[in-house]
């Protein structure tokens, strides 16, 4: 009940922002560009170890990610290039955040961890491949939005990890959760990639069997 109320309240705020931006004539591609710029800033914050503030900035960036498509539909500015731009810059946004995390854990500091660098790198590669396989399969006639760890889930996990990692000197369970989140992101993204590849293979097999010789 509480979650539903929060969701409805958030959507009312988003819808009000969409109407305001549409009335002001703001182009959705500009919102897309602003969103990716904020994500670059988020990557920088991760890189310098300001994980909590990176989480806050990541929330703001993804508000813009929700706004651009809604504003495009509200203003009738839905274009193929806009869709292409949004999808392409989403990949860039994913990469800069993970690169920031990798840079932090690779640095010469007490939190240095090659394991965390590897986990973030695996999560980055798998996340990009998940998106690529979807785009490539759709171009060949198979829609493959399957798997439990897609981009919205990855973003939520990153936000949780960031907001719960803000006191490096504390021994509390709640103050340094990013390493555990990286395990979930790495394993979950690889599993999602494997699931998606198998699903696409089966769909192509089914299409080939149903096509008359």
Residue 176: what pLDDT?
Answer: 81
pLDDT higher than threshold 80 for residue 126:
yes
Q: Which of 47, 55, 30 is nearest to 158 (CA)?
A: 55
Alpha-carbon distance of 54 to 60, in angstroms, equals 10
Residue that wins the pLDDT comparison between 212 and 163: 163
Q: What digits encode the pLDDT tens for the residues 52-88?
A: 999 999 999 988 887 877 777 877 777 888 888 888 8
Residue 9: what pLDDT?
Answer: 56
Burial status of residue 84 (CB atoms within 10 A of its CB: 0-12, 13-18, 19 or more): exposed
Query: What is the three-class DSSP state of 176?
Result: strand
Residue 212: what pLDDT?
Answer: 61
Q: Which residue has the tokens 């097999």?
A: 205
What does the block give as tokens for 23?
A: 């009335």
Per-residue pLDDT band for 173 (boundaries 50, 70, 90) equals: low
Residue 140: what pLDDT?
Answer: 82
- 3-state helix vs strand vs coil in the chain, percent to 5: 80, 0, 20
Residue 3: what pLDDT?
Answer: 41
Q: Which of 51, 20, 29 is nearest to 116 (CA)?
A: 51
Domains along the chain with CATH numbers? 2-210 (1.20.120.1760)
> Is the distance from CB of 13 to CB of 66 less than 8 angstroms?
no
Q: Which of 174, 178, 188 is nearest to 130 (CA)?
A: 188
Q: Which of 157, 154, 148 is nearest to 177 (CA)?
A: 157
Residue 22: what pLDDT?
Answer: 73
Residue 87: what pLDDT?
Answer: 84
Alpha-carbon distance of 173 to 196, in angstroms, equals 34
Alpha-carbon distance of 197 to 60, in angstroms, equals 32
Residue 189: what pLDDT?
Answer: 93
Question: ∠ CA 132-137-138 to the nearest 5 degrees?
Answer: 100
Q: Average the pLDDT over each of 90-99, 164-173, 178-187 and give the range with the smallest value.
A: 164-173
pLDDT higher than threshold 70 for residue 20:
yes
> Mean pLDDT across the chain, nearest whole number?
85
pLDDT higher than threshold 70 for residue 147:
yes
Q: Average the pLDDT over each of 57-66, 114-123, 171-180, 197-206 and give the range with the smallest value.
A: 171-180
Instruction: Tell me which range, 27-31, 46-50, 78-82, is most confidently predicted by mean pLDDT.
Output: 46-50
What does the block give as tokens for 176?
A: 């340094």
Residue 210: what pLDDT?
Answer: 78
Q: Average the pLDDT over each of 70-84, 119-133, 154-168, 181-195 and give the range with the smallest value.
A: 70-84
């Amino acid at each position: 009940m509480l979650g539903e109320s929060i969701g409805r309240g958030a959507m009312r705020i988003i819808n009000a922002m969409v109407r305001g931006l549409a009335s002001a004539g703001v182009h959705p591609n500009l919102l897309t560009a602003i969103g990716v710029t904020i994500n670059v800033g988020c990557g920088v914050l991760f890189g310098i170890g300001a994980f909590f503030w990176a989480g806050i900035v990541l929330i703001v960036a993804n508000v813009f990610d929700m706004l651009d498509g809604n504003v495009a539909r509200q203003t009738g500015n839905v274009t193929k290039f806009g869709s292409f731009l949004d999808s392409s810059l989403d990949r860039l946004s994913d990469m800069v955040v993970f690169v920031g995390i990798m840079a932090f854990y690779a640095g010469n500091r007490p939190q240095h961890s090659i394991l965390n660098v590897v986990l973030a790198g695996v999560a980055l590669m798998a996340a990009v491949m998940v998106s690529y396989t979807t785009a490539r399969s759709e171009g060949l006639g198979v829609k493959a939005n399957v798997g439990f760890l897609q981009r919205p889930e990855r973003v939520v996990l990153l936000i949780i990890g960031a907001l719960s990692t803000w006191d490096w000197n504390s021994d509390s369970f709640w103050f340094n959760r990013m390493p555990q989140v990286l395990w979930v992101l790495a394993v979950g993204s690889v599993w999602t990639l494997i699931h998606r590849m198998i699903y696409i293979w089966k769909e192509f097999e089914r299409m080939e069997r149903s096509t008359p010789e």
